[in-house]
Amino acid sequence: MPAMSAASKYNRIAPVYEVLDLPLELFFFRSWRKEALADLSGKVLEIGVGSGRNLKYYSPDVLVTGIDNSEGMLEEALKKAREMKNINLSLMNAESLEFSDNSFDYVVTTFVLCTIPDPVKALKEMRRVLKPSGELIALEHMNSDNLIIDFFERLIDPFLFFLLGDHTTRQTARNIEEAGFKIKEEKNLAFKDVFRKIRAKT
Ligand SMILES: C[S@@+](CC[C@H](N)C(=O)[O-])C[C@H]1O[C@@H](n2cnc3c(N)ncnc32)[C@H](O)[C@@H]1O
C-alpha cells in the first residue's frame, strides 16, 4: 500500500480534528493562542491554518492570509472565516509559497512544523516572504532535552506519524535557526521543554 501524504491524512481527519485534541486545546492551546496573537498588526501569513482555530484571536484590523495544503482542513477554516472580512484562505504548500519576497509583517505557525515533510525548506520560504523587519511567531511541540521525555517521544513518533503525519522528535528550534532565523525569545510552555513559544527575526 503506498504511503499516505500528510494532506490525505488531514483530509481524512478534518471533520473530527477539533475533537481529537480537545483536552489540549481547552487546558493549554487556547490561552497560548490568545497571548501569542492578540498584539499582532499589519499583514500576517498563517501557515497550516488547519481548521482555523487561531482566526478568532487576531484583531479585526489585521489582514490575515491563511494557507494549508489540506482541502478538508481549509473547508473547516472557511466555515469560521465566513463572517470575518480580514481573513483570506488559500490551498497552498508551505514548501513553495506563492507570495513575493518581503510581503508580510508576521508569519505564524501553530503545531505545524511537526507535520510539514521538509520543515527547513518551508521555514526558508517563510523567511523569504517576511519583510526584513518581520517576525516568525511559533507555538510548537518539539524534541525534549530531557532523556525520559525523549524516550517517550521516540516511542510514540511512529504511531502519531501514521495517524496524523505528526513527528514528536523534530529539533524545531534548531530547524528555525538552520533556515536563517535569529531566535529572539524561546519560552517553555508545557511538559518541560516540549511545547514552546518561539519568536524569531529574519
Ligand atoms: C496539527 S495541524 C495544526 C492546525 C492549526 N495550525 C492549529 O493550530 O490547530 C497541522 C496543519 O498543517 C497542515 N500542513 C501540513 N503540511 C503542510 C504543508 N506542506 N503545507 C501547508 N500546510 C500543511 C495540515 O494540513 C494541518 O492542517
CA of 115 to the centre of ligand 1 (A): 7
Bridge partners, 107 (sequence order): 45, 136
Closest Cα to atom 13 of ligand 1: 48
Of the candidates 101, 98, 51, 54, which has an alpha carbon nearest to the alpha carbon of residue 71?
51
Rounded to the nearest angstrom, the distance between the alpha carbon of 118 and the centre of ligand 1 is 13
**Residue 159 to residues 27, 77, 116, 165, 166, Cα–Cα distance (Å):** 23, 26, 16, 9, 9
> Distance between CA atoms of 71 and 92, rounded to whole angstroms?
10
76 CA distance to ligand 1 middle (Å): 12
Cα 190 to averaged position of ligand 1 atoms, centre (Å): 21
- pTM for the whole thing? 0.96
Give 2's pLDDT tier (boundaries 50, 70, 90): low
Q: Residues 161-201: pLDDT tens digits?
A: 998 899 999 999 999 999 999 999 999 999 999 999 999 99
Q: Is the CB of 121 under 6 A from ligand 1?
A: no
Q: Which domains does the chain have, with CATH numbers?
A: 6-201 (3.40.50.150)
Q: What is the pLDDT of residues 29-74, one digit of tens each?
A: 999 999 999 999 999 999 999 999 999 999 999 999 999 999 999 9
109 lines ligand 1 (CB under 6 A): no
